[in-house]
Structure 1
Amino acid sequence: MLTSSFVAFLGISVLVIVTPGPDTTMTIRGVMLGGRHGGIATAAGVALGQIIWALATAAGLVAVLLASEPVFQAVKLLGAAYLVYLGARMLWSAWRPTGPGETAVMIGVRPSPLVLFRQGLVSDLGNPKMAVFFASILPQFASAGHGMFSELALLGVVFSSLTFLWLCLYAVALARLGQFLGRPRIKRSFETIMGGLLMALGLRLAVEQRG
């Protein structure tokens, strides 16, 4: 039987997960570059990153990260730079001039699911806001004492699993529009929007103050 505390945790988790952010944007990018499988691979990388953050929280490593301002800022800036880099690559792919005989398909780089998985993982690990979230939320729903580590880890796995399911649904739904989104003009416009959004998210992360 679900406890009221766990139900409250699920409610907060769902609210956070469905709110669009870097993870959602990365998944959409994965679909644009690798279709349904690319989106799911990106979502899996994001989910693994969240599990790592959760385990780090349970082990007390996140507390060390949050206590060290230089380390926190370094992680934040590296994560921000990575988002800006991916966004810039997407813009370049969308607007790169085509040579004689080239088509949009020929110049577009279609990364493997493994590459997209890695990018989703690195993107999530480079977002210290996940550390702040897990460190501030998870302990509120775990019992203090000997079993706290396992409870924190379990809550993190639940959160990451819900994230993975949501992003997979997002990826599958978006992939169904593949024929429409594959039209050269639509694809270029969509990639421009997503590239610009990734860069904006990266810049916002870089200048954002700790909450």
Structure 2
Amino acid sequence: MTASILFVFLAASIALTFAPGPDNLFVVTQGIARGRRAAILTALGMCSGITVHTVAAAAGISALFYSSALAFQVVKFAGAGYLIYLAWQAVRERSSLGLAASLGLSGAALFRRGFVMNVLNPKVALFFLAFLPQFTNREAGNIPLQMAVLGLVFMAQALVIFTGIGFFSGIVGNWILRRPRAGRWFSWLSAAIFASLGVRLALAQR
């Protein structure tokens, strides 16, 4: 791969990462509902999930979601169910006591939320399967290795952008968490957002 190809890939990746979508919304929601720490740890988990999609695309595993409707449906509904579960948890945390408890979530639990949300989205797998090969060069050889490198570049820029989004949304979240009444309203808002993301994923088509 040439430097020019990597530059074009990086520019396209940054534009796609900044574009409004479920991942951005998920990080923002975590930041507003739970504060800066939660948003950043969730963003780290989501970016780690990119490695799974990169390996799957490079190994051709993601093609299974394209060729098998059953595989796509299974992973899709698993991801939708997980988002609905997060919505239910947000409703449970609507009291000030629940908000205080949510601040005590371990770093591993917050990281896992982002990771699972990203991995259980077959649309992301199909995106990587379609996006990465466009920037590979057969003459350079070893296409899977090129895709792995591109996936790492994508993950690096996503890490910077998502943690930045998490940081700034967390500033708002930390302000809200000091005001229990506002926090209760945002717990309901978080639940509504998670539920809508779950329904959107459940209705997604290949």
Matches within 5 A, 1:1-211: 2-3=3-4, 5-32=5-32, 34-94=34-94, 96=95, 103=97, 105-106=99-100, 108=102, 110-144=104-138, 146-182=141-177, 183-210=179-206
Given that residues 28 and 171 in structure 1 are in contact (C-alpha distance below 8 angstroms), is that contact kept between their aligned partners in structure 2? Answer: yes
Given that residues 38 and 112 in structure 1 are in contact (C-alpha distance below 8 angstroms), is that contact kept between their aligned partners in structure 2? Answer: no
Number of equivalences: 203
Structure with the higher fraction of residues in helix conformation? 2
After the TM superposition, which parts of structure 1 deviate over 6 Å for at least 4 consecutive aligned residues? none
SS of 1:17's equivalent in the other structure is helix
| Superposition TM-score, scaled by structure 1 size | 0.86
The offset of 1:81, in angstroms, is: 0.8
Given that residues 80 and 206 in structure 1 are in contact (C-alpha distance below 8 angstroms), is that contact kept between their aligned partners in structure 2? Answer: yes
State how far apart, in whole Å, the 2-side matches of 1:33 and 1:193 are.
9
State how far apart, in whole Å, the 1-side matches of 2:33 and 2:193 are.
16
RMSD over equivalenced CA pairs, Å: 2.1
Identity, % of aligned positions? 32
20-29 or 139-148, which moves further after superposition? 20-29
State how far apart, in whole Å, the 2-side matches of 1:104 and 1:129 are.
33
State how far apart, in whole Å, the 2-side matches of 1:73 and 1:56 are.
17
Unpaired runs of at least 5, structure 2: none
Given that residues 35 and 178 in structure 1 are in contact (C-alpha distance below 8 angstroms), is that contact kept between their aligned partners in structure 2? Answer: yes
The offset of 1:191, in angstroms, is: 2.2
1:123-170 CA deviation, whole Å, 9 max, x = no partner? Answer: 101111111110111000011263211110111111111111111111
State how far apart, in whole Å, the 2-side matches of 1:67 and 1:196 are.
33
